[in-house]
Amino acid sequence: MKTNQFTMQDPRSQYQMGKTEKDGEQPDPGLDEILDPKADHGENTYEGSNRLKGRKALITGGDSGIGRAVAIAFAREGADVVINYLASEETDAKDTLDILKASGSDAWGIAGDVSDEEFCNSLVRHSVEKLGAIDILVNNAGKQQFVADLEDLTTEQFCQTYATNVFGMFWITKAAVKHMPPGASIINTTSIQSYQPSAGLLDYASTKGAITSFTKSLAKMVIDKGIRVNGVAPGPIWTPLQQSGGQPAEKLPKFGENVPIGRPGQPAELAPVYVYLASQESSYVTAEIMGVTGGQHLP
């Protein structure tokens, strides 16, 4: 029987990906191409219904993980999409763009590092040139590296995590708002770590707290332009981020098993929330954070 996102299933057993091995680690930044076991981004399951027909979306970190799943969903809902990614992630980006174009939407990739302000401005400028406008902005690019001891957390890593997760979001949003019409939507990716921070993720968790507050404050700042701003807070989701230093090797075999549903989430399980927040169905929703946490609920 063919299944899609509408097929009723027991959520505890919907995905059986097996154990994630310690020796499955990969370099930072990680790639979906070598992620083991593979993640589901909705490539074979997401079916759209024109909920975003004619919309123009820019998605950072759109080559892999949650960003890839969101890009696939947006394209299948009728949006044209620009994905941003690091140059070292070109392989994943090409695979994602092939999927997007097969959905019938126009899609482009722009490589570059969002921790650089000059690049962020050029990313928005080139996205507008390709799309004609930006009416959906998804700030999703992120850096996560586990460091167990405070004395081992370097200033360089702390600053780079903030530059990628927080400053890049600020620079891109500031540049993009000028091109966003009333009815546009900004969606930021925060985390359960904003509310329930883990030891070893001091820099990452604190950036997610900043993103949560940024989202709520920005929403009140730009609603007078008719722009809504919301966030999505994922729990333990199986992406290359986890295998490339985001989790310690010894935790990988049981990653995500501590939540009530009893398993890690898949990127495909996040995409419908982003579609909802991007669409006109959420017209009365702004300054909100929506959790997708496997039951590890937000306060």
Tell me the C-alpha distance between 204 and 242, whole Å. Answer: 13
Which region, left, alpha or beta, applies to residue 65 given φ > 0 means left and ψ of -120 to 50 means alpha? left
The answer to whether 288 touches 273, Cβ cutoff 8 Å, is no
Q: How many CA atoms lie within 13 A of 193 on its CB side?
A: 23
162 is catalytic: no
23 three-class SS: helix
For residue 26, give every residue at least 6 positions away whose Cβ sits within 8 Å of its Cβ, in sequence order, or none. 34, 35, 240, 243, 244
Cis before 197? omega within 30:
no
In angstroms, rounded to a whole number, what is the distance separating the alpha carbons of residues 71 and 275? 10
| Candidate list 162, 204, 276, 284, residue with the active-site label | 204
Residue 215 near residue 190, CB atoms below 8 Å: yes
DSSP symbols for 139-161: E--------SSGGG--HHHHHHH
Catalytic residues: 204
